[in-house]
Amino acid sequence: MRRAIGVLVSDRVVAGMVEDGGQNGKPFTEPLLGCTADELASLPADQIVECIGELIVKAGSGQPVMAVGAGLPGVIRHGVVEESPNLQQLKGTNIRRFLGDFLHMHGIDAPVSVYNDADIVAAGLAGTRGQLDRMVRVWTLGNGIGYGQYPWTEGMWEGGHMVVSLDPKERFCGCGGVGHLEGIMGHRAMRLRFLDLEPEEVFAQAAQGDTRCAEFVALWHRALAAATASMIHLSGPGKFFITGPNSKHVDLEILGRFLNDTVKMSPFQGYVFEVVPSSNEVAIVGAALNADRTPAE
């Protein structure tokens, strides 16, 4: 029985021991004090790595570990966070090396792999749904917007920064780019756009007929449709999962209508969406599964 530990760093840090790709039982997950949503953004990089390492040690409980996988927001290459607009202090941090050193000091010598957080969600969905033999694609809608894919393939894969608008006023993305998907759909971006309303209130008032909010909700869906159409034209039709805290705002009928406006060629027909609840456990399974089956270089 192979054991691997998966870690998710998003609005908090959670970790769990996963056996046989998550097919047996649920992983252990527990938030660690000092790594809550409000504190992560202000913690120095070395403290975040230490927080991750302490939780991995706790999740391992002294049992043999074959691999460790961690998912973090941003551009992750060769174990290094090259850019992370939502955790900017991690830029340039070699998570794999520092985490490996920390774990070695605590008796864990398993190889460490680091991935974009959306990629581990895709792997987790593939593993927990018995779909390891097919391509799985997922949009994660939260403070940022992520695009994940299984099987894991090395690359930038920052789908949230895909350009979906040519309007020069669309400057709400955390990276500073113009017209980005995250600048429309991201939670932080919505708060900047509506300084007088929280995102929840925007969708609620749109449902009540408020013109300004209703126009934005249409734009929000159109942006996701545009980004999905681009992915379809690059990698073909099929299913797209949608998850994350703000996936509850997705209206599949509106989204499908906008997507139908942009995808017309017959070889690209046959797409479908499924909204799934956010799950730390699914992400943890995906991080462990990727580390065990497709270790990041």
- Start-to-end C-alpha separation, the chain: 24
Angle at 66 between CA 63 and CA 67, to 5 degrees: 115
In order of start, what are the domains of the chain with their CATH numbers?
A: 3-123+279-293 (3.30.420.40), 133-275 (3.30.420.40)
How large is the greatest C-alpha to C-alpha distance in the chain, in angstroms? 59
Band of residue 36 on the pLDDT scale cut at 50, 70, 90: low
Report pLDDT digits (tens) over 55-107. 899 888 888 899 999 999 999 999 999 998 878 899 999 999 999 999 999 99
- Strand 75-77 relative to strand 272-275: parallel, antiparallel, unpaired? unpaired
Mean pLDDT over 227-233 rounds to 97
Distance separating alpha carbons of residues 18 and 4, to the nearest angstrom: 5
Mean pLDDT over 132-155 rounds to 93
**Given its phi and psi angles, is residue 107 left (phi above 0), alpha (psi -120 to 50 degrees) or beta?**
left
Report pLDDT digits (tens) over 9-23. 987 888 888 987 654
Distance separating alpha carbons of residues 296 and 280, to the nearest angstrom: 21
Distance separating alpha carbons of residues 39 and 211, to the nearest angstrom: 36
More confident call, 210 vs 64: 210
Residues in the chain: 297
pLDDT above 60 (res 1): no
Q: Which helix (H) or strand (E) holds 8?
A: strand 3-9
Report pLDDT digits (tens) over 238-272. 999 999 999 999 999 999 999 999 999 999 999 99
pLDDT above 70 (res 35): no
Band of residue 27 on the pLDDT scale cut at 50, 70, 90: low
